[in-house]
Structure 1
Amino acid sequence: MRVGAAVGSCAVEPGELRDDHVREIVGGNVADLLAHPHPAVRVAVLDAFLADSAPHAADPRARTVRVPGGSSLDKSTARARAVVDLVPGTGPVAVIGVVNSLLVQLRERGLDYLPCDFKGGSTEWDEPVLTDHEQAIAGAGSVLASGMVLGNGSFDRIAQLCAERGLPLVMFAQTGSAVLRELLGAEVSALSAEPYPFFWLTGDATDIHCYPGGVS
């Protein structure tokens, strides 16, 4: 969703958002779209509205990290380094939304992790991927979660569990990065915000905006 100069995003599963949903929101206004029946539309338009009102690049709390141009693997690795730098050294880390480059960086730092993803399966090191985020959080010392949890409806429960156990919740977000910024210092401990265009869409250099723990 585009509002002014900003593009807001929310990931959806294939087939979740119908073609007629897309057609009917074109040219809509923010107030109407914030009441849209589909949560992904609401998240994306709120993300765009907040990012247009207060761009990440102009936020004094953010440290902008330039991801150098290169292959998808090169860029994913550079992004992962910046994201994992936000994670406190408290393991195991429940990684909700498995991205192998993040796991590589955790391994290089000697941090144990508990991979978790709705899709299950295994990591590239044949480690089983949990499908229950509550199970992953129960064994964790900190949590690193994808912004996709905002779009699939699991964020509130994840944040609640972290608050109950006193665990830091670090978010790496393409989905709803400006929305999650509003929760810094409350539900969210630290944030890697990656607004559109995402690193994998171009071989050119792109930016992410890192909000370290302790900002509010």
Structure 2
Amino acid sequence: MVRTVAELFDAVRAGAYGPDPAHERISLAFTTTQAVRHEGRARGYRNEVLSLRLDAALGSCAVEPGALPADALDDCVGATVADLLSHPLLPVRTAALDAYLAHVRPHTPGNGARPYPLAAGSSLSRSRARARAVVDLLPADSATPGEHLPVLVIGVVNSLLEQLRSRGRAYLPCDLKGGATEWGEPVLTDTAAQLERCGAVLASGMTLGNGTFQGLLDHAAETGKPLVMFAQTGSAVLPRFLGAGVSAVSAEPYPFFWLDGGPGIIHRYGGRS
């Protein structure tokens, strides 16, 4: 079992998970940019995601809109996974790791994944459906170490906050961008300062791509607090940390729920059945 992100990179480079990454080449690299404001919501947001294709698998890492250099895609196309695991940009390294692990450990029941269907519908209805699937992975409040302490939500998604509110769960919204939630609550920006105040952590896979995930993993491993990840970034990476601090993962490989109004699926690991 790996206990750090660095250990996982080293294990993949060494071929511990399957084929030598020096012999696996990325055939396609692309970015997806989205802007959305759901009906009835006062605020909108933007997403940008880098995705890399390895055979039939896709690996992804979200980035701040406009932050990815224009030549990053050229760096990726035709490169080996081994090359990209050492790329100077963390989002490229993360997407390459995700693509490789999605290739060798696809989201199947044999690899521990439980499929969760998302019905067709509007972007808002599908966002709410995903939020229910994610929040269901948190233990009941009475089963959380530090009973009745709030859930630290890292990567503010209003549908997740709405779902926590509907269940009477207190939360601390945290995001590097700051701002305010749909309900006017200030969004905190210093994650580390909030960890001691919470009883559980619900975090975006984007923490992999910005380098803050390891601190969350260490805290959860040391304290026993539940750490539930909702992952479009690193959907195949984060299940590798189950039992090492991560308690559950909602894995959502590309294409994401917001790209299509038809029926879809996410894959859940750990947590409540």
Q: TM-score, normalised by structure 2?
A: 0.76
* Aligned pair partner of 1:80 in 113, 128, 131: 131
2:217–2:227 Cα contact (<8 Å) kept? yes
Give the number of the structure with larger relative contact order, counting CA–CA contacts within 8 Å between residues 6 or more apart: 1
What are the equivalent positions in structure 2 for 1:39-188 lying under 5 Å apart?
A: 39-90=90-141, 91-188=149-246
User: What amino acid does structure 2 have at the position aligned with 1:167?
Assistant: K
* 2:82 aligned to which of 31, 44, 66: 31
Q: Which stretch of the first structure deviates more once superposed, 148-157 or 131-140? A: 131-140
Q: Secondary structure at the match of 2:164?
A: helix
Stretches of structure 1 lacking an aligned partner (at least 5 in a row)? none
Quick check: 1:89–1:111 contact (8 Å CA) kept in 2?
no
SS across alignment from 1:2: strand
Separation of aligned partners in 2, 1:34 and 1:58: 27
Compare CA radii of gyration and give the structure with the larger one: 2
Matches within 5 A, 1:2-41: 2-41=53-92
Shift of 1:76: 0.3
Shift of 1:37: 1.3
Task: Indicate conservation of the 8 Å contact 1:185/1:214, yes or no.
Answer: no
Q: Which has the higher strand share?
A: 2
Which letter does structure 2 place at the counterpart of 1:110? Answer: G
Pairwise CA RMSD: 1.5
C-alpha deviations, 1:18-68, integer Å up to 9, x for none?
111211211111121111111111110111111111210344522101111
Contact 2:150 2:198 in 1 (8 A): yes
Q: Is the 8 A contact 2:217 2:244 kept in 1?
A: no
Q: Encode CA deviations 1:107-134: one digit per residue, 9 max, x unaligned.
A: 1111111100011111111111110112
Aligned residues: 215
Using the TM superposition, name which of 189-198 and 151-160 deviates more. 151-160
2:5 is aligned to: none
User: Does the 8 Å CA contact 1:94/1:136 hold for their aligned counterparts?
Assistant: yes
Q: 205-214 or 122-131: which moved more?
A: 205-214
Between the aligned partners of 2:192 and 2:213, the Cα distance in structure 1 is 12
**Structure 1 contact 174–195 (Cα < 8 Å) conserved:** yes
Structure 2 gaps, min length 5: 1-51, 142-148
Specify the code of the residue in structure 1 equivalent to 2:76: I
